[in-house]
């Protein structure tokens, strides 16, 4: 392929990526397919079509594109990573691990792959191994907020609440609008008896994610601990409305109402 033709394809890929990031999936797909019409073995376009189809819920097609990308370029760490990541998101952990390890073999510095591997290990209950993977992700990308949040979760599950709090705080320092991390930090603070600080974090999490049931429930527990029962009950009622099938939410509401008398 001539250099000029390759440059043109990369320009099309760049335009497609802009549409993709903006959520204009149909426009992005048309451009990715245009690249494949000119170069059927364009690994980048194949990978992005896989990601796009996954976003659309076309899981079979997504894995078809990604497997094709890996076949075209067995040395593509991006193809191996995306296969592993999408398998992880589907809960297919045993299948995800070999792909993530392959990505890391091809590029040991890929922070996203270390983070994804850690998430798989965390889901499997391999907490110490997960901590190691999240630590590797942070070492290779100190700005990766997701890795700090995930590390906090693993540390919390290991009972290391002070370390977990520090990790959640690090995630928020890198991404101040990280609503999930604010909620996690609130829960860890509440577990260590720092009720007022926890309440502030839950309130911030709810500002960022208005229907964040975990944070709303945490807010209710903090308010109840502070003796503000009417406000706590309002929180628990909202959680029940958001998750009507949750037995724990109904129990929290009943307990708060009983405490109020």
Rg (CA), the chain: 22
Please identify which residue in the block is written with the tokens 């991404």: 175
Task: Specify the CATH number of the domain 24-84.
Answer: 1.25.40.10
d(CA 222, CA 215): 10
Reported as a single tens digit per residue, the pLDDT across 206-249 is 999 999 999 999 999 999 999 999 999 999 999 999 999 999 99
Reported as a single tens digit per residue, the pLDDT across 98-111 is 999 999 999 999 99
Reported as a single tens digit per residue, the pLDDT across 28-57 is 989 999 999 999 989 999 999 999 999 999
- pLDDT band at residue 4 using 50, 70 and 90 as cut-offs: low
Q: How far is CA 156 from the centre of its chain?
A: 17
Predicted TM-score of the model (pTM): 0.89
If you average pLDDT over residues 112-139, what whole number do you get?
A: 98
d(CA 148, CA 167): 5
d(CA 44, CA 59): 18
- What pLDDT sits at residue 9? 85
d(CA 49, CA 68): 11
215 backbone dihedrals φ, ψ, rounded to 5°: -70, -35
Contacts of 214 (CB under 8 A, 6+ apart): 183, 187
Percent of the chain scoring above 90 in pLDDT: 90
d(CA 98, CA 90): 15
């Amino acid at each position: 392929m001539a250099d000029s033709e390759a440059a043109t394809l990369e320009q099309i890929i760049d335009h497609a990526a802009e549409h993709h990031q903006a959520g204009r999936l149909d426009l992005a797909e048309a451009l990715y397919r245009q690249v494949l019409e000119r170069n059927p073995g364009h690994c980048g376009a194949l990978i992005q079509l896989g990601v796009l189809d996954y976003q659309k819920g076309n899981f079979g097609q997504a894995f078809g594109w990604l497997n094709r990308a890996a076949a075209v370029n067995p040395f593509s760490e991006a193809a191996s990573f995306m296969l592993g990541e999408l398998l992880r998101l589907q809960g297919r952990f045993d299948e995800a691990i070999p792909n993530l390890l392959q990505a890391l073999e091809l590029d040991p510095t890929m922070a996203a792959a270390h983070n994804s591997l850690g998430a798989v290990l965390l889901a499997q209950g391999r907490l110490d191994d997960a901590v190691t993977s999240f630590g590797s992700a942070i070492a290779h990308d100190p700005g990766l907020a997701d890795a700090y949040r995930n590390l906090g979760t693993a540390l919390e599950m290991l009972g290391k609440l002070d370390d977990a709090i520090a990790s959640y705080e690090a995630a928020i320092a890198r991404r101040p609008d990280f609503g999930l991390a604010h909620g996690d930090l609130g829960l860890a603070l509440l577990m260590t008896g720092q009720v007022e600080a926890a309440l502030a974090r839950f309130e911030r999490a709810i500002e960022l994610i208005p229907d964040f049931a975990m944070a709303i429930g945490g807010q209710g527990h903090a308010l109840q601990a502070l003796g503000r029962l009417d406000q706590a009950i309002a929180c628990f009622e909202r959680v029940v409305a958001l998750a009507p099938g949750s037995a724990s939410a109904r129990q929290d509401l009943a307990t708060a109402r009983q405490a109020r008398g």
